[in-house]
Amino acid sequence: MKTWQIILICFFCTSLQAQKGWEVGGWLGTSQYYGDLNDKINLSDLGVAGGALARFNFNNRISVRGGLSYARLSAEDANSDNNFNRNRNLSFKSSVMDASGALEFNFFPYTHGSNDEFYTPYIFAGMSLFRFNPMAELDGETYELQPLGTEGQPLGSEYSRVNGGWLLGGGFKWDINYDWSINIELSYRSLWTDYLDDVSTVFPDLDNLESQRGATAASLSNRALLDGIAEEGRQRGDSTRNDQYVFVGVGVMKYFGRLECPKISDVR
């Protein structure tokens, strides 16, 4: 085979498959919860977040990705500008472990090692599965809220601490060199539960809650600063809207793909 034919084959291969292969890396950033205890853009309770990410590139436009993330989420009614919320006086904090999978699309052709196609904005969409455990403090002690049934859930019918949600996000990535790249991205989860913060429906019968679960459960269900707020059946949360959280982070990825030119012997 002539030299010019080999060059042409490798050039054609590069244009089609230069992006094919795995990327693996990690990221660090911050997390923000939105829900019954933070129903507006309030950045007073940002938490730490980080994780690991793997991406398989089918070509220079399309890839699939999977991630495992950890975050700290929290909120306090005391930080709200709503009078009812401040007087309701609830709070929570939770560690979250999040496993996600998504399809990713590059707006520009993105080819590792290219002098021209080394950066692109991108978007992705998929689903996540997460584990959470809302907690709150009372008299200097920290309690897990789910086992206490703070909204009067029957014994054995508490909400699950494992749930899922829809995932949507976007970002910008660029190469440092052929092997390494930097990714800056924002990802949003719309959850399938309204109990990330242990708040969803109405105040229960507190006397019955105390008899079933104890005085601590009743005290953590009703933290109100004013009388009458925690009357049975009065709104405690908004069950018509599920909770949400957002990650913002900066990541470093290592590319493990290589060119996959056809064997010279296979070319006629």
Let me know: does 112 contact 181? Beta carbons within 8 Å. Answer: yes
Domain-located, residue 232: no
Q: From CA 66, how far away is CA 38, in angstroms rounded?
A: 29
The pLDDT-based confidence of 213 (bands split at 50, 70, 90) is very high
Please give the pLDDT value at position 257. 77
The pLDDT-based confidence of 260 (bands split at 50, 70, 90) is low
Q: From CA 44, how far away is CA 7, in angstroms rounded?
A: 58
| 90, two tokens | 């609830």
Domain-located, residue 224: no
Give the number of domains in the chain.
1
Burial tier of 123 (Cβ tally within 10 Å: 0-12, 13-18, 19+): middle
The pLDDT-based confidence of 18 (bands split at 50, 70, 90) is low
The pLDDT-based confidence of 10 (bands split at 50, 70, 90) is very low
Please give the pLDDT value at position 164. 98
Q: From CA 146, how far away is CA 159, in angstroms rounded?
A: 7
* Boundaries of domain holding 79: 21-136+160-191+243-266
Rounded to an integer, what is the distance from CA 178 to the centroid of its chain?
29
Let me know: does 79 contact 40? Beta carbons within 8 Å. Answer: no
Let me know: does 235 contact 160? Beta carbons within 8 Å. Answer: no
CATH number at residue 168: 2.40.160.20
Domain-located, residue 152: no
Domain-located, residue 220: no
**54 CB-near residues (< 8 Å, 6+ apart):** 22, 23, 24, 65, 66, 67
Lowest mean pLDDT among 126-130, 172-176, 264-268: 264-268
Domain-located, residue 215: no
Q: Is the pLDDT of residue 4 over 80?
A: no
Domain-located, residue 85: yes
Half-sphere exposure in the Cβ direction for 22 (13 Å, CA): 6
The pLDDT-based confidence of 226 (bands split at 50, 70, 90) is very high
Domain-located, residue 254: yes
**What pTM was computed for the model?**
0.87
Lowest mean pLDDT among 29-43, 47-61, 200-214: 29-43
Domain-located, residue 209: no
